[in-house]
Amino acid sequence: MMRARPKRQKSEPTITLINIVFLMLIFFLVAGTLAQPLDTALSLVRAQDLSAQPPEDALLIDATGGMSYRGVSLPDIDAYADSHEGERSAIRIVPDRDLSAMQLVQIANQLRAAGAERVILVTERGME
């Protein structure tokens, strides 16, 4: 004679859902307390009020590789280096978006060879 197997009770699916929701609640409580709140006396800078003008001391490079400094066109890197003999610590360059990367690297290397300690690339986000 065969014994009848006892029927298994189906597990309640809501218990699993409650466990997941509880774990998510714990996660968000922990994640929310990890970030330090800002000081209430601190007021942040509004970037929309700033002008998007390149810095005055920046070397501007157009899409063809032509250079200008403070509105004066320069024939080559040597002309820029000669006029800035004492200012070698950091040189800012603002390249055109369409300037090839090869030309940009070549100009940066020429500036370093002319004695620049650092070459700083100014981008659109940096100007905003």
Flag whether pLDDT at 126 surpasses 50: no
Number of domains in the chain: 1
Can you read off the two tokens belonging to residue 32? 């929310």
pTM of this structure: 0.52
More confident residue, 95 or 46: 95
| C-alpha of 25 from chain center | 32
Say if residue 108's pLDDT is above 60. yes
Instruction: Residue 90: give the domain boundaries.
Output: 53-127
In a domain, 82, yes or no: yes
Decide if 59 is inside a domain.
yes
CA–CA gap between residue 79 and residue 94 (Å, rounded): 17
Percent of the chain with pLDDT over 90: 8
